[in-house]
Structure 1
């Protein structure tokens, strides 16, 4: 009799202990899910896998500039392991791969998983910038401006990232035909740049972009 092809879900211990008690014994155990199939998955070539394996396989292909080959691994991780600690990394890299294959719509969906659901992820800032860039290329500048506004609401945003977000938001407002609002954000970026330039060794290009934006708006009046 042939074995069934249905995937079975099992749980295996990948991390033996998060903390140890007396005698070095584990006091807690972290369980990671693993899927086991009777036959290898046609797209992945794997009969059994966990989230870490999928991420590693995707990264291996992405590093070889094979984004089309990497995406199935990231996509399967996002669908199969929605609570995985690797979810943010998979979403970010899937977004980058989608961009590189010319699929900005798909990239926006991947990045939004981080910016809307995984907002405490260390990948949030990069995902938000890339999502805004994709939205602008798609002609959805108003949505891009909202993504940048949400980023600027974060108190913990580092100064260089805050200046960059201010500049990007100002650019969006220029595209939306709101020059006076844009001028306000260019000015905020310039003030923040000058206040921190020497202490943080900020890139001069940030200040130059703010000055250029202000000059451009002045010429248009």
Structure 2
């Protein structure tokens, strides 16, 4: 719920109880003693949602539960919120607070969700719903771009030795992602590697959920992808510098690929598909940069032809690698029944790269792949 709406509800919720006005009313003769007149009003409370005023806490909880089950999150938030606000002694209040937060979260109403979860959350000592609510608070802070607050809370959770390792790894991975979003790549990598080390140290890896270790590897891959993208290929600097930058860029690509492959090996379907998609996109991106790069200025016409021929061979290798990665990613997604934006993007990219390779094989000019709206490399 927005700050302005809470202010509005606070004003309307003020009780007007026992309001009375008193005043001296003079008689027609100035010598007549003043007549005291008292006007008494019944107590009135303005509730701001009169339709729900007739429902008790049990009825509100039942209606909210029914609405949530029916995916009517707007109504669920309304019923649960009413219970939490107007029935402070109800046995259902804590659950209503949590469920109201969940309903707002499903609606992507992050400020309102934050307000509900915050009342329950206890990052330092909480268990049960207080612990779960603390993780939810961090998630809402992430979406509200309050990264410093989320990092502080998640650090507290990650360092709690009384929590199961699975929850500490979860907190550590989320902390690393928030650090990345806050523009702290070095801190992010250190934090993510701590989570990975904790996972790798386990003898029985089935003790923890594979989602978060796979996510940690994926985001270390993302860090190296960002480093890769920061290296620019500029032929104007000369052939030697271009070759140096190209080799360095290829090393960063392989480093990113290595972490994406580790993410795939963890075995989580969602992150395996996402990682495969990103590997294919890296090769596709390097192809685009190379095919659009002019020959170094110091090469004469004959040398430039040889340069283009060698470049064409490398381009075909990149396209072939990209196709292989995309095909394996789609096979994995189909085998595990994964559906996500990564799967859709992979399918589209595969068709595009196959067309490029076919055009190159037929001796046609190879155009640069067009940037798409959701392409992170554009």
Q: Name the counterpart of 1:146.
A: 152
Q: Name the counterpart of 1:42.
A: 50
Q: Name the counterpart of 1:3.
A: none
- In structure 2, relative to structure 1, the CA distance for the partners of 1:118 and 1:107 (3 Å cut) is farther
If each structure's helix is expressed as a fraction of its own residues, which one has the higher value?
2
Q: Name the counterpart of 2:69.
A: 63
Whether the 8 Å CA contact 1:62–1:97 is kept in 2: the answer is yes
Measured after TM superposition, the shift of residue 117 of structure 1 is 9.7
Q: Name the counterpart of 2:82.
A: 76
Measured after TM superposition, the shift of residue 170 of structure 1 is 0.4
**Helix, strand or coil at the partner of 1:98:** helix
Q: Name the counterpart of 1:133.
A: 139
Post-superposition CA distance 1:42-67 (Å, at most 9, x none):
322635x23x4432221111111122
**Alpha-carbon distance in 2 for matches of 1:86, 1:74:** 9
Number of equivalences = 180
Post-superposition CA distance 1:9-37 (Å, at most 9, x none):
xxxxxxxxxxxxxxxxxxxxxxxxxxxxx
**Helix, strand or coil at the partner of 1:166:** helix
**Helix, strand or coil at the partner of 1:43:** helix
- Provide the aligned C-alpha RMSD in A: 2.8
Measured after TM superposition, the shift of residue 70 of structure 1 is 1.9
**Helix, strand or coil at the partner of 2:176:** helix
- In structure 2, relative to structure 1, the CA distance for the partners of 1:141 and 1:44 (3 Å cut) is same
**Alpha-carbon distance in 1 for matches of 2:206, 2:135:** 21
Match of 2:130 among 124, 129, 145: 124
**Alpha-carbon distance in 2 for matches of 1:91, 1:126:** 12
**Alpha-carbon distance in 2 for matches of 1:119, 1:110:** 19
- In structure 2, relative to structure 1, the CA distance for the partners of 1:156 and 1:125 (3 Å cut) is same
Whether the 8 Å CA contact 2:63–2:79 is kept in 1: the answer is yes
**Alpha-carbon distance in 1 for matches of 2:120, 2:167:** 17
Q: Name the counterpart of 1:185.
A: 191
Measured after TM superposition, the shift of residue 90 of structure 1 is 1.0
Q: Name the counterpart of 1:114.
A: 120
- In structure 2, relative to structure 1, the CA distance for the partners of 1:119 and 1:84 (3 Å cut) is farther
Unaligned ranges ≥5, structure 2 = 1-14, 16-48, 229-378
**Helix, strand or coil at the partner of 2:54:** coil
**Equivalent residues in 2 for 1:164-175, closer than 5 Å:** 164-175=170-181
Whose RCO is larger (CA < 8 A, sep 6+)?
Answer: 1
Whether the 8 Å CA contact 1:88–1:121 is kept in 2: the answer is no
Measured after TM superposition, the shift of residue 159 of structure 1 is 1.6
1:160 aligns with 2:160: no
**Helix, strand or coil at the partner of 1:173:** helix
Post-superposition CA distance 1:127-175 (Å, at most 9, x none):
2232222222222222222221232243332221211110000011111
Whether the 8 Å CA contact 1:111–1:128 is kept in 2: the answer is yes
Superposition TM-score, scaled by structure 1 size: 0.69
**Alpha-carbon distance in 2 for matches of 1:171, 1:147:** 13
Measured after TM superposition, the shift of residue 197 of structure 1 is 5.7
**Alpha-carbon distance in 2 for matches of 1:132, 1:80:** 26
**Alpha-carbon distance in 2 for matches of 1:170, 1:208:** 13
Unaligned ranges ≥5, structure 1 = 1-5, 7-40
